[in-house]
Homo-oligomer: A and B are copies of this chain.
Amino acid sequence: MSDSLWQLSASQASALMARRDLTSEAYVRACLQRIRAQDGTVKAWASVDEAGAIAQAQACDAMPRKGPLHGIPVGVKDVIRTKDLPTQFNSPIYEGFQAGEDAHCVAVLRAMGAVILGKTSTLEFACGGQFPATTNPWDAARTPGGSSSGSGAAVAAGMVPLALGTQTGGSTIRPAAFCGVYALKPTWGSVPFDGIKGFSPPLDTVGFYGRSTEDLVMLAQAYRLLEDEPIILTRPLRLGICQTPLWKQAEPEAALAFEALIQKLGQLGVEFQPVELGPMYADINVWQDVVMQNGGRFAFLPEALTTPQLLHDDFKAKLNNHLGLKGAVIRNALDQIDRCRMHFEAQLDTLDGVLTLSAPGIAPLGLHTQGMATFNRMWTALQVPCINVPALWSSAGLPIGLQLVHRRYEESKLLSCLLSLMPHLDAQRNPWSQT
């Protein structure tokens, strides 16, 4: 069994550890070995401290269990500060930088006994500039998506069962879709952004990656996001279907896979109701971009003042307000988004969740792109919780992301909905189990 320990999900490993059938050290060593075997191709990691991770695991094995996360290894996107490993933001300015302190989201996991395995590769400052070298574990010729490229790829490749990312546009859900892993972008503001390099405050959100719904439940519980324990609902589900304003940008194969799933679920008794967006949402991705670019006017000021020669031109353009954003335009974007949020959430009263696509299609070819956030920007702007479920597949067997959305602070309902859907979804494929 020790040869395939790295295949375990976090919740499977946690159950084994609770029964003392698995040590943290054995699990962590299996992950480290998998990294050694795979990361030459996948390039998911900015830094791994093998000795430090093993020491953390041994310490966990020697102390009483602190809960489900005890002894479980986690990867941390390298825009999130950690007290031991370097935090480099994929920026030459921060090469070898030691933050000396854990971000809030890391401190919580560490306090609950998680093992911080390493830092995962990211787009520079999770924003622009330099791309990471990370490849897609399903097909190394394809992008893993971004900006949380390393977190999505590391979980997909079997290198670590859980990882942290961030999302300002589509940076958590899109890599999850392209890499075929589970991810949760919780309600904006519910996991503090303290200790993470920000980009746009009304959008910046911590995101989680895992290998199963139970993994996401475990993380949501750790951060106290659940009003109630998620349960499998025995009554018929009632789901919204949301074809966002840019649905025509969905690739035919993705749209067909989505429709086929709706049809299948309908035959199984799920009730569907279209979520009406209407013309008020037509420009919501444009407003999201205004809010995002507005953040860029302020976020990189320290770096521009101290080390301009090492700051990519992308960030200088944002700092210099290359879009010429004025207060009136920013206020309008924020207000229109607020109106859409009220309109959207009002439709959730009678729904268990809303189904949509996580990305326009499979991961594009090439590492010069990270794909489009077309189907993520709206949800990030609305600040609502979203889950990627690897439940749709291309004819070539590549993952297409199914996205499940609810209104703010309804992570419990969102996870109950997913738990209830799971038996009917083809959502347990992994790159290593493919032919």
- The answer to whether residues A301 and B104 also contact, given A192-B198, A295-B189 and a CB cut-off of 8 A, is yes
Checking B107, B295, B299, B330 against A409 with a beta-carbon cut-off of 8 angstroms, the contacting residue is B330
A191 neighbours in B (Cβ, 8 Å): 298
* Contact indicator A338/B342 (Cβ below 8 Å): yes
A341 neighbours in B (Cβ, 8 Å): 335, 338
* Contact indicator B302/A107 (Cβ below 8 Å): yes
Give residues of chain A (286-341) contacting chain B, Cβ–Cβ below 8 Å.
Answer: 295, 297-299, 301-302, 305-306, 319, 326-327, 330-331, 334-335, 338, 341
A50 at the interface (CB under 8 A from B): no
A295 neighbours in B (Cβ, 8 Å): 189
A interface size (C-beta, 8 A): 49
A108 at the interface (CB under 8 A from B): yes
A129 at the interface (CB under 8 A from B): no
Cα distance A201–B302 in the bound complex, in angstroms: 21
Checking B98, B104, B202, B335 against A302 with a beta-carbon cut-off of 8 angstroms, the contacting residue is B104
B-contact 0/1 string along A332-376, CB 8 Å cutoff: 001100100110010000000000000000000000000000000
A407 neighbours in B (Cβ, 8 Å): 327, 331
A272 at the interface (CB under 8 A from B): no
How many copies of the chain does the oligomer comprise? 2
Cα distance A198–B192 in the bound complex, in angstroms: 8
Closest residue of B by beta carbon distance from A383: B334
- The answer to whether residues A408 and B302 also contact, given A197-B194, A202-B189, A295-B189 and a CB cut-off of 8 A, is no
A101 at the interface (CB under 8 A from B): yes
A268 neighbours in B (Cβ, 8 Å): none
* Contact indicator B327/A410 (Cβ below 8 Å): yes
* Contact indicator B227/A408 (Cβ below 8 Å): no
Cα distance A305–B302 in the bound complex, in angstroms: 33
Checking B111, B189, B331, B410 against A305 with a beta-carbon cut-off of 8 angstroms, the contacting residue is B111
Closest residue of B by beta carbon distance from A321: B224
- The answer to whether residues A305 and B108 also contact, given A198-B192, A298-B192, A410-B327 and a CB cut-off of 8 A, is yes
A247 at the interface (CB under 8 A from B): no
Cα distance A194–B204 in the bound complex, in angstroms: 12
A99 at the interface (CB under 8 A from B): yes
A224 neighbours in B (Cβ, 8 Å): 297-298, 301, 319
Closest residue of B by beta carbon distance from A202: B189
* Contact indicator A408/B327 (Cβ below 8 Å): yes
Cα distance A99–B193 in the bound complex, in angstroms: 17
A108 neighbours in B (Cβ, 8 Å): 301-302, 305
* Contact indicator A107/B192 (Cβ below 8 Å): no
Give the interface of A toward B (CB within 8 A): 98-102, 104, 107-108, 111-112, 188-194, 196-198, 200-202, 223-224, 227, 295, 297-299, 301-302, 305-306, 319, 326-327, 330-331, 334-335, 338, 341-342, 345, 407-410
